[in-house]
């Protein structure tokens, strides 16, 4: 299972799901996007740690979806990217994953926005279950 987390373009994995990704799933400092160990970073903040505009996040999400489609042998545990430290709303971010393949499992907090999808549970910050 690949842990998918919200990152920043600078690859500073210091808090929230990014911190967990670095501590437990191999996220690499300095890399803000892509597969890193057993994690996949999707930027929701820029290099100055300011929240990215939705169109930029949508582009990163589309690239992730394309990657996930080509990796049908892997499952992706998608957290609520952008809905924590970046301060974005679930109703703005979750629908960006509407075209994701079946090997993507989502945080159950997004179930209302992604009906009929698979869910893995929820991430609560420093979640020790992960």
Q: What is the pLDDT of residues 19-73, one digit of tens each?
A: 999 999 999 999 999 999 999 999 999 999 999 999 999 999 999 999 999 999 9
Q: Which residues have C-beta within 8 Å of that of residue 50, sequence separation ≥ 6? A: none
Q: What is the pLDDT of residue 125?
A: 58
Find out whether 75 and 2 touch, Cβ atoms under 8 Å: yes
Q: What is the pLDDT of residue 130?
A: 47
Summarize pLDDT for 8-32 with one digit per residue, the tens: 999 999 999 999 999 999 999 999 9
CA nearest 119: which of 128, 127, 110?
110
Handedness of CA 68, 69, 72, 77 (dihedral sign): positive
Find out whether 119 and 107 touch, Cβ atoms under 8 Å: yes
Domains and CATH numbers, the chain: 2-121 (3.40.220.10)
Q: Is the pLDDT of residue 126 over 60?
A: no
Q: What is the pLDDT of residue 123?
A: 82
Q: Give the Cα-Cα-Cα angle 60, 63, 69 (nearest 5 degrees).
A: 140
Alpha helices in the chain (DSSP H): 16-24, 54-70, 90-93
Q: Which two tokens stand for residue 15?
A: 């808090």
Rounded to an integer, the average pLDDT of 113-130 is 77
CA nearest 5: which of 29, 114, 32?
32
Task: Tell me if the pTM is above 0.85.
Answer: yes
């Amino acid at each position: 299972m690949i842990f998918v987390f919200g990152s920043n373009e600078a690859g500073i994995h210091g808090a929230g799901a990014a911190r967990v990704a670095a501590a437990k799933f191999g996220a690499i400092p300095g890399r803000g996007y892509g597969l890193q160990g057993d994690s996949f970073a999707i930027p929701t903040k820029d290099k100055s740690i300011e929240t990215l505009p939705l169109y930029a996040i949508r582009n990163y999400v589309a690239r992730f979806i394309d990657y996930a489609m080509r990796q049908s042998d892997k499952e992706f545990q998608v957290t609520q990217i952008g809905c924590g430290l970046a301060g974005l709303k679930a109703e703005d971010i979750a629908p960006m994953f509407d075209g994701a393949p079946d090997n993507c499992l989502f945080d159950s907090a997004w179930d209302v926005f992604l009906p009929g999808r698979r869910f893995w549970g929820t991430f609560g910050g420093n979640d020790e279950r992960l």
